[in-house]
Amino acid sequence: MTPVSLHLEYITDPGHHGDLLLRLGVYRHHCDSYYLALDESREAGDDLVTSLTRLLGQWVTQLRGLTKGGGAVLLPYDFSDQCTAWLQVSSVDGDRAAVQAGWSLVEGWRIQPSNYATTAPEITDFDPIVNARIECSLEDLISTVERNRDAFASA
């Protein structure tokens, strides 16, 4: 397995603002766990660590779906008042993947992080961020996200 340069990290707790860091290749983005903490759905965790574990678990499920012949999925990582940030993962063959960070004007409050797949199809305005893209093996990407998820689960 080749490590993939993708990691979501809980860095500190200054009131749920700027307490998460997404790393994708050379791209770095500080984001908030605020909407993860506000999520009141049945699937939501009782605490931030559980919510982050659930979020990355959903990523793994969607990524595994791409191994069956390819396609594209959107994985959220920043929920803000006026926009959301997503990773667009696409695979033409179910083997190789391109991971691109970008923005949508769909507001964070419109999405339940614990069940974002119901809202993801509404994202039609994905706007890629320059220099925030990597290419990798899809299986390596899945393994990387699983390790990230498992690190939160064991915290």
Q: If 0-12 CB within 10 Å is exposed, 13-18 middle and 19+ buried, where does residue 145 land?
A: buried
DSSP of 71-90, one letter per residue? EEEEEEEEE-SS-EEEEEEE
Largest Cα–Cα distance of the chain, in whole Å?
42
**pLDDT score for 16:** 58
Contact by Cβ (8 Å): 99, 88: yes
Strand 27-31 and strand 71-79: the pairing is unpaired
| pLDDT value at residue 39 | 81
In the chain, the domains with their CATH numbers are 6-153 (3.30.2450)
**Whole-number Å distance between alpha carbons of 150 and 146:** 6
pLDDT digits (tens, 9 = 90+) for 84-137: 999 999 999 999 999 999 999 999 999 999 999 888 888 999 999 999 999 999
136 contact partners, CB below 8 Å, separation of at least 6:
2, 4, 96, 97, 99
Q: What is the pTM for the complete model shown?
A: 0.93
Q: pLDDT tens for residues 62-89?
A: 999 999 999 999 999 999 999 999 999 9
